Amino acid sequence: MIFVSMLDVIPGKVGELQKIVSTIKTPKDIKIREFLSLFGKPDYLLTFEAPNEEKALAFILKFVSVAVPKTSLGMPVERK
């Protein structure tokens, strides 16, 4: 399953978020596809794969002390 999370950094927590990002130990069943810093809102965009919603939630909860996440399930669009 593919998940897309938009992270809005809590004011004053940018340094803490950068520390979490640089030191996070990704569980073996989570695959980060991209972690992008954006020019504008949201501040960060994270796309990752997880086997189910529970694992995705457990992973995203690592960021809630420094950012407000909004996560959606992503589905590939077939092109013809």
Residue 58 maps to which CATH number? 3.30.70.920
Domain count for the chain, please give it: 1
79 pLDDT tier (thresholds 50, 70, 90): confident
**Which burial class, exposed, middle or buried, applies to 6 when counting CB atoms under 10 A from its CB (0-12, 13-18, 19+)?**
middle
Is 26 part of any domain?
yes
pLDDT digits (tens, 9 = 90+) for 24-60: 889 999 999 999 989 989 999 999 999 999 999 999 9
Is residue 79 a part of any domain in this protein?
Answer: no
pTM of the model: 0.87
Tokens linked to 15: 């340094």
Range of the structural domain that residue 46 is part of: 2-74
3-state percent helix, strand, coil for the chain, nearest multiple of 5: 25, 35, 40
